[in-house]
Amino acid sequence: MTISHIKQLFIGLSLAFLCACSPDNQDATSTTWPTFGHDVSNNKFSSLTYIDTSNVSRLQEIWRYGDTTEGGGIYFNPVMMDNRVIGLMPSNHLVALDAGTGKLLWKFVPDSSIISNWSKGLTYHPGNPDRIFLISGGTLYAINAENGTVIGGFGNNGRVDFYEGLEVPDSMRANVPVSSNAPGVVYNDLFIVGCKVPDELPSTPGDIRAFNINTGKLEWVFHVIPKPGEFGAETWNTNARTRNGGANCWAGMALDEKRGIVFIPTASPSFDFYGADRPGQNLFANCLLALNAKTGKHIWHFQTTHHDLWDRDNGSPPNLVTIKRNGKEIDAVALVTKMGYLFMFNRETGESLFGVNEVPVDTLSSMPGEKPWPTQPIPVNPPFARQGYKEKFFGRSSEWIKEEISKNKYKTGIYEPPSMEGSILLPTAHGGSNWGGAAVNPETNRLFVNSTDIPMILKLTDLKKIRADNQLNPEILYRTYCSNCHGADKKGTGVGPDLTGRVKKYKNTQMASILQKGAAPMPSFGFLSPEQIASIVAYVKDTVKQQSFETANIPQNNEPYGFNGYSFYLDPQGHHAIAPPFGTMTAIDLNTGNIVWQVPLGEDPQFKKMGIPNSGMFNRGGGIATASGLIFIGATGDNMLRAFDQKTGKVLWEYQLPGMASSIPSTYAVGNKQYVVVSVNGEQKNNFKGGYIAFATP
């Protein structure tokens, strides 16, 4: 803790003392935003009340700090400590801004010019000095929060190789990029962190690790895919640690400091959609894990999807809550999922506090060797997303959909095993909920969660056939493999970033290598030939010269099956083949699990023009809650930042941002002025390259 920090605390305390009975009462910790979920409970809750339902409509943009050179997305909210707003830029440079003015205080530039800007790995730890743990391009850095310099005593000159403790042979490192797109938590002198590993093969187990916060030394490792002989090993083939991989934590963790328990949501095993080479239940993939924070030992786990074949990662950080039941208070951990479920467990025992049924599901797979697990856990409390694609969900004229489904023999259940014929999934790998997770107001015990309600068509593809085909037309290749995420015009969609700006500057070999490896959620295109990849690269860079493509030396991925990308299921007009709302905001009573209200989130301008207002939208990012009864959330493709009323779900304020806010906002106070700050993705047509925008009342 720094001197100004103590001063701030002191002022905060004296203010609290002076006006303990005033509604403006703000204690010291409430003025900051220390970590992405506000604190280790992940409730994204601020007790600030300066901005409330009566004055929120007067919010104005106060400052913005935009990138000038790079341009791109930011998928992480900034922290605010010691009057500094600290966040990542699209370039992955770390910046510290004056919290009141947005003026640049310092900048830290990581060693490697990294390619992926999907990073969310920033953890602030008050100490002497305050430090920031940042994972960027395969390196874990400890950075002095006062001036942005590395902390020499940590690891090797402020750096630890982020492969440390993962069992990736040196020969495989080039093909298995490991980073982190979630922050860790600090418990005593341990920095506990997950990692991001490829969703496709080759991959590596995403083991959970703890590093000493002062020295960077590796202190413990928890094997998310158990080694032979370890608890859970019998749920895999014996070679799973070298053959498969994944089961990593990319969503972020919650920490019960008093009990010394860290709660860790894990992702699906690699490869996501075909699991014949990983028969079994696959523990500890798709789990909520409770580990002893000091030792990394297993306490309990709950698996939310057995033998995942649908990429149903636990992608939302868990929330620590306290529920009331029969006059008693129970400390619980809540988890919202891509399936649109809210699970609730006793923190100590893992006992499920709402009922959960193991429901029999379809086990008939047409894929060679695939053995889907016969049951899946479904909570009895109501889901916040529509379940299983049904004709009635199509709305409009259901004749088309009826015909489509019967003609193509699409299956539409929530756990249909993937096939080459295709099935329509709802909810999907996009969610339900995703990395925005849920916000909780502990004073009213309400949970607020944003969710996407859009069907996806999942088809496995025969990679041998595609390789043999070796189609070289660049436009056809781009349209087949890229446009559903990056847009036919290459300018990006809610799923994939704009490819027309800085990305075009990548060297051909660099871009070819990204495509070869993939960058989750972007799949790997290692199944394409080097000539095909070179052809796509030339197309993306607008340097297409028919027939002659300079090819990079690309090793091929030998998986038998791939998938068709995360493709939305669309009607003949190109609209989501489902009735609105395409995205929602839901309030849930934590004591009962019941839904209090559900409203559309976002408004698709296209649908509005067609006379369908409040359509809701695909959303990425999440909301925060304040003690004054507000929810702030961006997350939608209409580029709005909105304030909702926690009581009713009514929109009280909205503001047109120059790009999409695909993270969650942060709120803090300087003096007695409350700010809301949000990271905003770059958008060329608005001449904005990505950065931070802060709001306050004048």
| Phi/psi at 57 (5° precision) | -70, -15
- Interface residue list for ligand HEC (CB under 6 A): 72, 115-118, 481-482, 484-486, 495-497, 499, 503, 511, 514-515, 519, 521-523, 525, 536, 540, 565-566
Closer to ligand HEC by CB, 195 or 299: give it.
195
Beta bridge partners of 38: 35
- Residue (105 or 115) nearer to ligand HEC, CB: 115
User: Within 13 Å and on the Cβ side, how many CA atoms surround 261?
Assistant: 21
Question: Which residues lie closer than 8 Å to 624 by C-beta, 6 or more apart?
Answer: 38, 44, 45, 46, 439, 631, 632, 633, 664, 665, 666, 667
| Residue with Cβ nearer ligand HEC (486 or 642) | 486
**Strand, coil or helix: 448:** strand
Cβ proximity to ligand HEC: between 280 and 418 the closer is 418
Instruction: Return the closest-CA partner of residue 569 out of 390, 408, 426, 447.
Output: 426
Sequence-distant (6+) residues with CB within 8 A of 557 are: 200, 201, 202, 463, 516, 524, 526, 527
Q: Which residues pair with 625 in a beta bridge?
A: 45, 631
CA distance 492 to 499: 7
> 215 or 480: whose CB is closer to ligand HEC?
480
For the bound state, the minimum distance from the C-beta of residue 182 to ligand HEC, rounded and expressed in Å, comes to: 13
Q: Please, what is the end-to-end C-alpha distance for the chain in angstroms?
A: 31
Strands of the 122-125 sheet, one edge to the other:
122-125, 131-136, 139-144, 159-161
Give the three-class secondary structure for 463: helix
Q: How far is the CB of 493 from ligand HEC (least distance, A)?
A: 8
Q: Residue 227 is encoded by which pair of tokens?
A: 């080694």
CA angle 460, 462, 468 (to 5 degrees): 150
CB of 75 to ligand HEC, least distance (A): 8
Task: Give the shortest CB-498-to-ligand HEC separation in angstroms.
Answer: 8
- For 336, half-sphere exposure in the C-beta direction (CA atoms, 13 angstrom radius) is 35
Phi, psi of 334 (to 5 degrees): -110, 145
496 versus 658: smaller Cβ distance to ligand HEC: 496
CB of 349 to ligand HEC, least distance (A): 37
Q: Is 210 or 485 the residue whose CB approaches ligand HEC more closely? A: 485
Considering the complex, state which of residue 459 and residue 673 has its C-beta at the smaller distance from ligand HEC. Answer: 459
SS3 readout for 319-348: EEEEEEECCEEEEEEEEECCCCCEEEEECC
Least Å from the CB of residue 536 to ligand HEC: 5
Q: Give me the least distance between CB of 615 and ligand HEC, in Å please.
A: 22
* Residue (198 or 665) nearer to ligand HEC, CB: 198
To ligand HEC, the closest distance from the beta carbon of 497 in angstroms equals 5
Nearest CA-CA partner of 540 in 488, 493, 495: 488
Sequence-distant (6+) residues with CB within 8 A of 425 are 310, 389, 414, 416, 455, 456, 457, 458
Between 412 and 535, CB nearer to ligand HEC: 535
The one-letter code for the residue type at 365 is S
What does the radius of gyration of the chain's CA atoms come to, in whole angstroms?
24
Q: Quote the least distance from Cβ 540 to ligand HEC, whole Å.
A: 5
In the complex with ligand HEC, which residue's Cβ is closer, 534 or 643?
534
Give how far Cα 304 sits from Cα of 176, 273, 422, 593, Å. Answer: 26, 16, 24, 17
- Phi/psi at 144 (nearest 5 deg)? -70, 120
In the complex, least distance from residue 425 CB atom to ligand HEC, rounded to whole angstroms: 14
Query: What is the nearest approach in angstroms of ligand HEC to the Cβ of residue 391?
Result: 27
How wide is the angle at C-alpha 177 spanned by C-alphas 34 and 373, nearest 5°?
A: 90
Taking the least distance from each CB to ligand HEC, the nearer of 194 and 600 is 194
- Residue with Cβ nearer ligand HEC (72 or 102): 72
Nearest to ligand HEC of 508, 667 (CB atom) = 508
Minimum CB distance to ligand HEC, residue 625 (Å): 27
- Exposure of 661 in the CB half-sphere (CA atoms within 13 A): 29
Nearer to ligand HEC, 405 or 511 (CB): 511
**Least distance (Å) between residue 620 CB and ligand HEC:** 9
Rounded to a whole number of angstroms, the minimum distance from the CB of residue 499 to ligand HEC is: 6
Euclidean distance between CA atoms 475 and 438, whole angstroms: 40
CB contact at 8 A, 198 and 524 = yes
For residue 327, what are its two tokens?
């006059």
Cβ at position 564, least distance to ligand HEC in Å: 9
DSSP one-letter string for 504-569? GGS-HHHHHHHHHH-BTTBPP-TTS-HHHHHHHHHHHTT---SS--PPP--PPP--SEEE--SPBP
